[in-house]
Amino acid sequence: MKTEVIRLGKGNPEALLRAPALALRRGEIVAFPTETVYGLGANALIESAVQEIFILKGRPQDNPLIVHLPDKSRIDQVAINIPPVFYKLYESFCPGPLTFILEKSDLIPDIVSAGLQTVAVRFPDQRASQELLRLADVPVVAPSANISGRPSATRASHVLDDFKDRIPFIIDDGATELGVESTVLDLCSPMPRILRPGVITAADIKERSGVEVQSYSEGLKKADLRRPASPGLKYRHYAPEAKVLQICSDHENSPDTVVLKMLEQLSDQKIGLFINERSWDILKQRTDIDERVITEYLFSAENSQESAAHELYAAFRALDACGVDVILAEAIPGAEAYMNRLDKACVSESSDIPQDSVKNILFVCTGNTCRSPMAAALFNAYAEKQQSSEITWRAISAGMHTLDGLPATDHSISVLREIDIDISDHRSAQLTEELLAEADLIAVMTRTQRDVLQEMFPDLEDKIKTLSEWALDLDAVSAVDIMDPFAQPETVYRETRDQLRKLIVSLWQKINLPLSD
C-alpha cells in the first residue's frame, strides 16, 4: 500500500479532502489533524474498520475510542438519554478540545466503547477535521495517530514515521495547535467529572458555563483504571524509547542545579534535555556543564505551560531520533494536562517487574503444527516491532499430543506469509514438564487444554490460562476457545490467524504495560 499525503494550504480544501472522506465512509483508515493531536480515523459504524485501528496501533481492546462529529446535529446517532447539561457545555466549548462521556446508542458497535454502555464523543475545532467529517458524513473514531503507548503525533511527519505505507491517506495541515489530547468529561456520573485532563480545566468549565464538575484529581477512582470509560487512563502512554526522568525544582534548587545533579548521576548516558529557554541559557553559563554531551529541545519560558504541552510529543520523538538514552524533562507544577502526559511517559520506579530480563511465553495446542506455532510467530513478530521496555519477551510453542520434528501445515505457512511472517522452518515439539517449568506464562488454545494441564500440574496452575483469558482478562468460565483449522480450507486458517492476531495485540499490552495501582 502506498500512503498518499494530502498537503492542505494550497487549493480548495473540499476538493482535496473528497477522496479521503470517501475512503473513510467505505471503511478505510485516514490520518487527519485536529486542534489537539493527529488522529487515526475510521468509520465508527464499520466494525472491521474499527478493528483495523486496534491492529495498526497495537491498542488494547479494553481501551475505548472517541467518536468524532462535525457538530451536535448527529449526536442522537451515537448517544441516547442525553442530559441537558451536555447542550449547555456544548454551547460554551464546542467545537473544541472537550470530549463527553454519554450513554451509547445501539448504532455504535461494542468494539468502539470496549463493551461499555457509554461512548466518548467530541467535536474537533480544526478546519481540516471539520471539513473531512462533514464530507465523510459518518461518525469517525480517531485515536491519536501513533503506535499505542508511544508519543502522540502532532505533525504529519510523526504519522508517517509510524504508519507509512500502512494506511492510504495522511492529511497534512501542519503542526497541531494544542499538542495534547482533549479533556474528557464524564456526564454519566451523578456529578460530571474529568477523567482525562486537557487544556479545558474544571475551573474553565465553571467560569464559562456555570457547571460544577469534579477535577481530574478529585473524580478519578481506581475502578476507572481497571475498566476505563476514557482513553489515556489504564496503560502507560506517550512514552519515547528513551527513559524519561522529571526535572523537579523548588525554591531551594533551581532547574539548572537539579539538571547538574542528574547529569552527575547519569554520566555514562547520552542525555536529552527538554527544558525552557531561560533555564537553558542559565545552564550554559555554568562552568561545570559540557554542552557536547547534551541534546537539547527547548520550549518558551513565556506561557511555559502551553508551550511545554505543545512541544512535549515532538520533543520526545526528536530526542529519540537523536539516539539519547535518557530524557530529562522539566516538571511544571500546576500544568495539569502537561504533567499528566509527562507522568505517564516516565518510567515507574515502583514497578515490580524485573528489568533487563528475558521472559518466556509458551503457546500450547494439540499438534503444534497450526495454532501454537502461528501464535508464537505472530507474537514474536509483533514484539520485535513494539518492544519498548527493558523486558525481552520470547515466544515458543509446543503440542500436547504430537511428535517432535513435524513441519507446520501448508496453510499455516501460507496465511502467515500473507502478512510477511515465515514459519516454513518450524518443527513441532512435544510439550514437556521442563518447558512448562521454564515458561513465565503459558497460553493454551482451549479451555479443555487448560483444565487438563492445570490438573496434571497443580503447582503451575497460576501461570496456565487460555490465550483469551490472558489477553482479555476473562474468567475461566467466559474464556473463548481458538478454533482448530487442522484439515480445514485455507479460509479457516485465515480466520484463526486473524483471531490469534487480535488476541496477541491485547496480550502484549497486558504483559508489557501493566497497571500500577
Domains and CATH numbers, the chain: 4-226 (3.90.870.10), 243-345 (3.40.50.11030), 358-512 (3.40.50.2300)
Q: d(Cα 323, Cα 316) in Å, to the nearest integer? A: 11
Average model confidence (pLDDT) for the chain? 87
Across 30-56, average pLDDT: 94
Residue 386: predicted pLDDT: 65
Closest CA to 177 of 69, 68, 33, 297: 33
Please state the rounded mean pLDDT for residues 39-56.
93
pLDDT digits (tens, 9 = 90+) for 154-167: 999 999 999 999 99
- Predicted pLDDT at 1: 85
In this structure, are residues 369 and 402 in contact, taking their beta carbons and an 8 Å threshold? yes
Question: Which residue is listed with cell 474498520?
Answer: 49
Residue pointed to by grid coordinates 521442563:
434
DSSP string, 388-418: -SS-EEEEEEEESS--TTPBPPHHHHHHHHT
pLDDT band at 57 (very low <50, low <70, confident <90, very high): confident
Q: What is the pLDDT of residues 278-315, one digit of tens each?
A: 999 988 887 667 666 789 999 999 889 999 999 999 99
Q: What's residue 514's pLDDT?
A: 38
> What's the confidence (pLDDT) of residue 511?
80
* Sign of the CA dihedral running 308, 311, 316, 322: negative
CA–CA gap between residue 68 and residue 145 (Å, rounded): 14
Q: Where are the alpha helices (DSSP H) in 137-241?
A: 156-163, 202-209, 216-219, 222-226
3-class DSSP state of 84: helix
Least confident range from 103-107, 226-230, 371-375: namely: 226-230
Handedness of CA 271, 272, 277, 278 (dihedral sign): negative
CA distance 412 to 375: 10
Least confident piece of the model among 38-47, 219-228, 290-299, 504-513: 219-228
Which whole number is the average pLDDT over 324-345? 90
Query: Tens of pLDDT along 449-475?
Result: 999 999 988 889 999 999 999 988 787
pLDDT of residue 219: 62
Backbone angles phi, psi at 395, to 5 degrees: -105, 135
